[in-house]
Amino acid sequence: MRLLFLGDMVGKTGRTAVWDRLPGLISDLKLDFVVVNGENAAGGFGITEDIFLETINAGADVVTTGNHVWDQKEAVAFAGRHDQFLRPANYPQGTPGRGSGLFYARNGARVLVANVMGRVFMHPELDDPFKSAEVILAACPLKEQADAIIFDFHAEATSEKQCFGHFVDGRASFVVGTHTHVPTADAQILNGGTAYLSDAGMCGDYDSSLGMDKEEPLNRFISKMPKGRMEAANGPATICGVGVEISDRTGLAEKIAPLRLGPRLAETVPEFWR
């Protein structure tokens, strides 16, 4: 199975770049399943229902989120209406929406996708992500109820992300980190067969500070005083993500490599898809 994960869409430039490029990527690379993190898609803060639906219409099978999931008030209302919209699974019981779901890939495979949020340097501090993952895996084990299992681990600390990867190694197909908006160079397959990447990066303008117009964050670092609101940068976007090939026999990863398309970072498409 060919899986593509795209990192956090930031603002209009990030989301429109994904919408423009994703249909062609699905066709050209013969992708079976696509997950996109959308938690910064609405001006850099949260996501609206229209943006979610447009992302699904562009070809995403699931849209994950993170700590900004409720920044747009309407998300509380629409989260429960769409199975393909995931918020972190380790929110307390009774939170609107869902944190995981079982979906069907284009090749007919059953794909469990789970969105979990870390707790180190993160706000709000949610329930234990490791215990949440254990519950999810126990309810839908790999190669029993699911042919592939994907975790979007939305977290700040790379140590926490790496430990989470080792925790589910051999029981999940792929663990990808989101939240920091900077792509890491540690794409690998762990000892038990789980593909891992600390952060997929973002889909947005890299002439920025994490996708935001750089003047205001730079001012705050220098003066310690806000001058205005943080605004999403609106220059040309670079799409960042990662491609994974998953064995139909074992449900574990066989190949992993980054995907980057755009003007700022060196362009790369997974060699095994060329």
DSSP per residue, 65-114: --TTTTSSTHHHHHGGG-TTBB--TTSPTT-SSBSEEEEE-TTS-EEEEE
> Is residue 115 part of an annotated ligand binding site?
no
For Cα atoms 237, 234, 222, give the angle at the middle one, nearest 5 degrees.
110
Distance CA 215, CA 232 (A): 11
Q: Which two tokens stand for residue 85?
A: 């919209």
39 is in an annotated binding site: yes
The length of the chain in residues reads: 274
Q: Is 154 annotated as a binding residue?
A: yes
Residue of 68, 82, 123, 166 marked active site: 68
**Residue 213 counted as an annotated binding residue:** no
Residues with Cβ < 8 Å from 24, sequence gap 6 or more? none
Ligand-binding annotation for 179, yes or no, is yes
Is 219 assigned a ligand-binding role in the annotation? Answer: no
CA-CA-CA-CA dihedral for 250, 252, 253, 259, to nearest 10: 120
Rounded CA gap, 65 and 253, in Å? 23
Neighbours of 162 (CB within 10 A): 17
68 as an active site residue: the answer is yes
82 is in an annotated binding site: no
Instruction: Pick out the residues of the known binding site.
Output: 8, 39-40, 67, 154, 179, 181
What positions carry a catalytic annotation? 68
Instruction: Pick out the residues of the known binding site for Fe cation.
Output: 8, 39-40, 67, 154, 179, 181
